[in-house]
Amino acid sequence: MNIIQRNFFRLIRYSTSGIEEQIEPMSVFKWEQLYQLALMHDVAETVYEGLEKSRNQFFLHQTDQQWKRWEKTAEDLRKHPRNDDAEEDEFLRADHLTNPLLNRKLQSILDDEHSDIQTRRLLLGIISVSRHILNEGQPVRQLINLGEELRQQAGRIDTTTLGKWIKSLKMEQVAAFEGALLMELLHFKQEEIPFAGTKARHVEQMAQELIEFTNTRAADFYFSQDGNAIFVHTSNGSAMLGHIRRSAHYFRYYPSETLTNFFVSFAHSLTHIEE
């Protein structure tokens, strides 16, 4: 990771876990890029909290204008808090899978009133991360939410049932990958993650690739049609190629869902064409 990304995750870890790490010195321009990165990943309020805690660190230098902008952004987000249970793009909701067989199993799990609610919530958090990995790249906000759920519910999760659900939904590899991301990016310990397998190889490289993939979002390749136009076009042609590469690249982590996810997301993009 470059220095901007390293400081970005240091601030997130300080905000979410309270463990202070020394910030590396950066120029005003690079702090500007970090601000844009926080906005891109929808974690500006979390990063600002880390900045506030680190304000007295020697190498943390920002202009008064930058501090004011951070404060205004955080204040605006506090006034208009997001609902993390309501996904902005319905296609990315965690309560469904695109593979029909797996989705039936998931709905059966979610409809079981006798199962533990907190364990179900954790399962949905794991699915949410996987949906974003396949469709939008590095899910920083979703990883943060998953990490907070893990720490808040530590010791209260039915790990045996969770393991059975993950196996039933063919999610063993992608869940282990998410555990590796939590350890690499948010410095979780393996014993804190009930679905963590052995640490994935090259996880830092994979995390870097996912972060870079976030430059194009799933909505960027939705098909659209101008009011008086005959031809259909995508809003971002390179985004579709990126989606194809991502699907191929992460196929090994969730093969039973990745293929159907690509075709269903393609079909979902067609719904944006006017009749």
> pLDDT by residue (tens digit) across 33-63?
999 989 888 899 999 999 999 988 988 888 9
Residue 167: per-residue pLDDT:
93
The rounded distance, in Å, linking the Cα atoms of 161 and 153 is 15
Whether pLDDT at 238 is above 70: no
Whether pLDDT at 78 is above 90: no
Residue 268: per-residue pLDDT:
56
**What's the whole-number average pLDDT of the chain?**
80
Q: What is the 3-state secondary structure (H, E, C) of 84-113?
A: CCCCCCHHHCCCCCCCHHHHHHHHHHHHCC
Residue 156: per-residue pLDDT:
86
Residue 147: per-residue pLDDT:
93
Q: Which of 52, 57, 45, 50 is nearest to 67 (CA)?
A: 52
pTM of the complete model: 0.81
Yes or no: say if 66 and 28 are a contact pair by the CB < 8 Å rule: yes
Residue 241: per-residue pLDDT:
57
pLDDT digits (tens, 9 = 90+) for 18-31: 888 999 999 999 99
User: C-alpha distances in angstroms, 212 versus 1, 88, 136, 156, 202?
Assistant: 10, 21, 10, 35, 16
User: Using alpha carbons only, what angle is made at residue 257 by residues 253 and 263, rounded to the nearest 5 degrees?
Assistant: 125
Residue 240: per-residue pLDDT:
55
More confident residue, 260 or 86: 260
Mean predicted confidence (pLDDT) in 186-206: 77
Tokens of 258: 């990745």
Residue 275: per-residue pLDDT:
41
**Strand intervals (E) in the chain:** 223-224, 233-234
Sign of the C-alpha dihedral, residues 33, 38, 44, 50?
negative
Domain ranges for the chain: 3-79, 87-275
pLDDT digits (tens, 9 = 90+) for 66-76: 999 999 998 88
More confident residue, 94 or 171: 171
The rounded distance, in Å, linking the Cα atoms of 195 and 69 is 39
Residue 231: per-residue pLDDT:
39
Looking at the chain, the whole-number percentage of residues with pLDDT higher than 90 is 38
Q: Is 248 exposed, middle or buried (0-12, 13-18, 19+ CB in 10 A)?
A: exposed
